[in-house]
């Protein structure tokens, strides 16, 4: 998804329109899996609706922030701060829900954080991104805050049993509401139109986006600790992206990338043991 955002300007895809199309794609995907439209008057009586409203607002806001950050300060810095957000649910799991922090898990979490930085160190110079960072210094922190807020809220609603047994309905409704927030903003900003490029980009974003969030919820539902799941998820996605880039796009891995991948694998093995 990070790569897609970087390609948007090249193909004249508008961030907001593509993101709104992405959320309605997520909604349609979830509805097809459920076999019916989960958005009906009955959801007004669910305990999870306020959280869905809050999360949907975070989604549309920080998805746009992430897209803007990628285009202004680059994929490398944005990716690092997106993945460093794992520290938020880890701390919540340990401090709020009493998850055990032993030596093995501590080493694994530290290894995961170091791996995130090392895997993102490029072969080429990132002076251009650094120079833009001086102007947009606040964007990495907004990305970190946004991703961290989303992950901790998802963790909270599942850990408290708020969406127990209704995770698919919750996620599908969440994406529908995020799409509505986006439409409202488009109307206010007088950008209420889509091009074919925006819709195609939204579909490409939407399907993997839906399953990313839904599978996170399901993993928490079946008993994964948040202090385990989020580090495993973040470093696994990062490692897979690096490997795919190496195999399919012939991207060269430098010594830092290799050490980062080794640390990522070690972190996953340690934290899952």
- Digit-coded pLDDT (tens) for 120-166: 777 666 555 566 677 888 899 999 999 999 999 999 999 999 987 78
Distance from C-alpha of 196 to C-alpha of 40, rounded to nearest angstrom: 29
The label of the residue with tokens 């990062």 reads 238
Distance from C-alpha of 47 to C-alpha of 173, rounded to nearest angstrom: 13
Give which of 136, 21, 123, 33 is closest to 78, Cα–Cα. Answer: 136
Give which of 132, 113, 122 is closest to 76, Cα–Cα. Answer: 122
Q: Tell me which of 1-10, 56-65, 135-144, 212-221 is least confident.
A: 1-10
Give which of 236, 263, 220 is closest to 92, Cα–Cα. Answer: 220
The H or E element spanning position 265 is: helix 255-272
Burial of 23 (0-12, 13-18, 19+ CB in 10 A): buried
The label of the residue with tokens 């993102």 reads 120
**CA dist list (Å): 191 to 55, 56, 66, 194:** 23, 20, 19, 8
What mean pLDDT do residues 188-193 have?
A: 80
Specify the number of domains making up the chain. 1
Read off the pLDDT band of 245 (50, 70, 90): low
What mean pLDDT do residues 4-32 have?
A: 88
Domain that holds residue 120: 2-272
Q: Is the pLDDT of residue 203 over 90?
A: yes
The H or E element spanning position 141 is: helix 139-159
Instruction: Provide the token pair at 258.
Output: 């290799």
Q: Is the pLDDT of residue 201 over 90?
A: yes
| Residue-level pLDDT at 132 | 67
| Residue-level pLDDT at 251 | 65
Question: For residue range 92-120, what is the model confidence (pLDDT) as tens digits?
Answer: 999 999 888 889 889 989 998 998 888 87
By percentage, how much of the chain surpasses pLDDT 90?
A: 41
| Residue-level pLDDT at 169 | 94
| Residue-level pLDDT at 143 | 92
The H or E element spanning position 19 is: helix 15-34
**pTM metric for this prediction:** 0.84
């Amino acid at each position: 998804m990070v790569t897609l955002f970087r390609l948007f300007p090249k193909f004249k895809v508008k961030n907001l329109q593509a993101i709104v199309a992405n959320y309605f794609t997520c909604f349609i995907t979830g509805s097809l899996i459920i076999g019916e439209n989960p958005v009906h008057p009955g959801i007004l009586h669910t305990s999870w609706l306020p959280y869905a409203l809050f999360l949907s607002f975070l989604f549309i806001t920080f998805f746009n922030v992430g897209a803007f950050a990628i285009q202004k300060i680059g994929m490398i810095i944005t990716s690092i701060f997106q993945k460093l957000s794992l520290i938020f649910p880890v701390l919540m799991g340990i401090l709020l829900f009493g998850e055990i922090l032993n030596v093995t898990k501590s080493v694994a979490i530290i290894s995961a954080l170091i791996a995130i930085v090392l895997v993102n160190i490029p072969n080429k110079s990132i002076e251009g991104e650094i120079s833009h960072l001086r102007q947009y210094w606040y964007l990495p922190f907004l990305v970190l805050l946004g991703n961290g807020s989303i992950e901790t809220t998802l963790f909270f609603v599942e850990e408290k049993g708020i969406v127990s047994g209704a995770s698919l309905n919750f996620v599908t409704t969440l994406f529908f509401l995020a799409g509505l927030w986006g439409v409202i903003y488009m109307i206010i900003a007088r950008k209420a139109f889509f091009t074919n490029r925006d819709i195609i980009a939204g579909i490409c974003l939407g399907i993997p986006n839906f399953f990313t969030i839904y599978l996170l919820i399901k993993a928490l539902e079946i008993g994964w600790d948040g202090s385990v799941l989020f580090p495993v998820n973040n470093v696994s996605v990062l490692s897979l992206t690096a490997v795919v880039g190496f195999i399919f796009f012939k991207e060269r891995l430098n010594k830092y990338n290799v050490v980062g991948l080794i640390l990522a694998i070690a972190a996953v093995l340690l934290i899952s043991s």
